[in-house]
Amino acid sequence: METTNSAPEEAHLSGDLHELNEREWFDKVYQGDKVPQLTLRAVLMGGLLGALMSISNLYTMLKVGWAFGVAITACVLSFVIWKVVRLFAPKLSDMTILENNCMQSTASAAGYSTGATVGIAFGALLLITGKHVDWTILFPWTLVSALLGVVLAVPMKRQMINREKLPFPSGIAAAQTLKSLHSHSAEAVKQAYSLVAAMFIAGITGFMKNGEFAWQLAMKLKLPELIHFPIKHRGIDMAALPGFGLEPSLLLAAAGMLVGLRVSLSMILSALFLYFIVSPELLQAGIISKPSDLIKGWALWTGSAIMVTSGLTAFAIEWKTIVRSFTGLKSDKQEGESDPLAAIEVPNSWLIIGVVPLALASVILQYVAFSINPLVGFTTVGLSFLLALVACRATGETDVTPMSAMCKITQLTVAVLAPRNITTNLMAASVTANIASSSADLLTDLKSGYLLGANPRKQFLAQLIGVFFGVAAIVPAWYMMVPNQAALEAMQPPSVQTWYAVATALSEGIDKVPVSARWSMLIGGIIGIVLAITDKYLPPKIKKFTPSAMGLGLSWVMPFSNALAFFIGALVVEIWKRINAKNAEIYYVPVASGAVAGESLVCAMIAIVNAAAALARH
């Protein structure tokens, strides 16, 4: 799914650099040769934090259908951890701001760039086949596609960041966070410790909710997984519908805090409509045989239609961005040997050295693992590069990586080249997902480095190293967290179900969808198109009162409890802002980020421990 982040400090940090050309930046801002940057401790810290965050993001992707950027969380955790380390080893020096920036790049690559393929595509394939793909396929598949994304971003950096100075708001926010922490700003330190405190409290909540240990149960330290609402409506026991209740989860509420009231309000209103208006009609007409089939058996198709059509329409509306993606790249040779950045920028020769073997490896893997025709394989890689260009520019201009739309374009293309082949459809889209997300993530991190005067070549190497940390963590975590199809279905993963629905419809034909759901898909598709258009062209004062297509769609592919928790979190922030706007703006993002990381990590670890224990018993 797409990720969004806010960067309120954008103008403050980037304003002075906006008018500088490359030569002036090199003379006035660059300090990558004077200050330690790509050090062993920075890479190890980033790699280990990123490995943990990759597991966290895998869980959140499965649980709520959302991936969250890890750069700022990694910066804050590294700052706090290093302060603790220095208490026991005072002779150690503080990390420099460029070391922490390099650490952030490593952590971001490990924590964000490797999860798209594992958490969504291979999850959908598990739903279809009922069995896992072997790790000897999953590991190189994830590694190669993530590395391809990093390498393919090379020719985009100088044009989008140095010359056009695209905002990449999350990159600016991460740079501002590092500046504040290294200036020992009291406000920044409080934000750091509030993130850690929220992480700890949410971790305890996750343990009490998901833990099933004997001593825990004996001490009555167990929260219910769901507090059911005992409501009967039109003769239906609403508690029998999927997730109709309140889930005591700080993770879900924190996710609502981050995505905001518009999305969360759309989710809860749409969920109420589905549960109280639509579901009784479906049950009484016999369209679905039992309440538990509401989402998987019917609503999933409509929710997917809303998200797919809105994403593709939004993508098409931004045609100027698409055009700029292909016309904006310029040769870096124009300044010849006098180019002051030649020794520090990533040379385009690295692009050739990296892309050729990685592209061949990807095509070979597609053929060997899933019998994907090499022509389709090369088309997938080439198309993924073009779509990565668009995704990077969209991220730079809006801070939204339209990963879903990119993948759907690949799926539509492959549906023509390899019709009625659901595995090919899914796996081709997974290549695009990893390449696009990895490229956009690298440029976001390079934006931070540009603002701080870092050496982009060293930062690129840190990003490459981070991919290895992430893959090494997320592949075994996937098998341990989701040991079988039943474990995956128990999580009711919205993004996985959406990919499954789209791939099924494209590969097996619309006749596989219930007739009533087809009509609902048509209505949902139209709603998605209209909302994407209004989202683009309505004035902001009016747009904030229109529904969010993402919120409407998600609420029909996830349990009611998720939508309710999202809404509660967003409502808390809204009330907080009305009581003390300044305090809320300072603390709600670090508090929410810490809660997401804390609970997701603990819940992921519990799932892994439970799976390992079950394996040991057998």
How many CB atoms are located within 10 Å of the residue 1 CB? 21
Q: What is the pLDDT, as a whole number, of residue 455?
A: 92
Residues across the chain: 618
Q: What integer is the mean pLDDT of 529-535?
A: 91
Which DSSP string corresponds to 209-248? HH---HHHHHTT----S-EE---EETTEEGGGSTT-EE--
For the segment 183-199, what is each residue's pLDDT rounded down to a tens digit? 877 888 888 889 999 99
Percentages helix, strand, coil for the chain (3-state, rounded to 5) are: 75, 0, 20
65 or 303: whose pLDDT is higher?
303
In this prediction, residue 323 has a pLDDT band, given cuts at 50, 70 and 90, of low
pLDDT (0 to 100) of residue 74: 86
In a domain, 112, yes or no: yes
Any domain includes 43: yes
Mean pLDDT, range 464-468, rounded to an integer: 93
- pLDDT digit string (tens) for 333-351? 544 446 778 888 888 788 8
pLDDT per position as a tens digit, 132-150: 999 999 999 999 998 988 8
Q: Hunting for tokens 């034909």 — which residue is that?
A: 509
pLDDT at residue 469, rounded to an integer: 94
If you ran DSSP here, which 8-state letter would residue 412 be given?
Answer: H
Asked, for residue 289, whether it belongs to a domain, the answer is no
Question: Which H helix or E strand runs over 397?
Answer: helix 374-398
Residue 616 located in a structural domain: no
Q: Which long-range contacts (CB under 8 A, 24 or more apart) does 358-366 make?
A: 358/144, 358/147, 358/148, 358/151, 359/148, 361/140, 361/144, 362/144, 362/145, 362/148, 362/431, 365/137, 365/140, 365/141, 365/144, 366/427, 366/428, 366/431
CA distance 54 to 56: 5
User: At how many degrees (to 10) do helices 456-481 and 135-152 cross?
Assistant: 160
For residue 64, being part of any structural domain is answered with yes
Asked if the model's pLDDT at residue 497 lies above 90, the reply is no
Residue span of the structural domain in which 452 resides = 10-72+89-189+316-330+345-481
Mean pLDDT score, 20-37: 83
Residue the block writes with tokens 């700080």 = 250
Mean pLDDT over all residues of the chain?
A: 84
Measuring CA to CA, which residue among 299, 291, 293, 276 is closest to residue 520? 299
| Number of separate domains in the chain | 1
Residue 213 in domain: no
Tell the residue number behind the tokens 């922030």, with chain if given: 573
Residues 559, 536 contacting (CB under 8 angstroms) = no
Give the pLDDT band of residue 119 (cuts 50, 70, 90).
confident
552-576 pLDDT per residue, tens: 988 998 899 999 999 999 999 999 9
**pLDDT tens string 584-603:** 988 998 899 899 889 988 98
532 inside domain: no
Per-residue pLDDT reduced to its tens digit, 416-449: 888 888 888 888 888 888 888 888 888 888 888 8
> Using an 8 Å Cβ cutoff, are 210 and 606 in contact?
yes
Q: Say if residues 428 and 360 touch (Cβ distance below 8 Å).
A: no
- The three-point CA angle 352-354-360 to 5° equals 95
The pLDDT of residue 9:
39
3-state secondary structure of 288: coil
Contact between 130 and 415 under an 8 Å Cβ cutoff? The reply is no
Whole-number pLDDT of residue 233 = 92
Question: Alpha helices of 509-539 — where are they, by DSSP H?
Answer: 515-537
The Cα–Cα gap between 497 and 64 comes to 11
Q: Is 118 helix (H, G, I), strand (E, B) or coil?
A: helix
Number of alpha carbons in the 13 Å side-chain half-sphere of residue 570: 20
The pLDDT tens digits for 198-246 are 999 999 999 998 888 888 888 888 899 899 998 999 888 998 999 999 9
Q: Is the pLDDT of residue 459 over 60?
A: yes
Question: So what's the pLDDT on residue 43?
Answer: 94
Q: What is the mean pLDDT of residues 33-50?
A: 91
577: in domain: no
Residue corresponding to tokens 């981070």 = 466
Specify the pLDDT at position 392. Answer: 82
* pLDDT per position as a tens digit, 498-526: 888 878 877 777 777 788 888 998 999 99
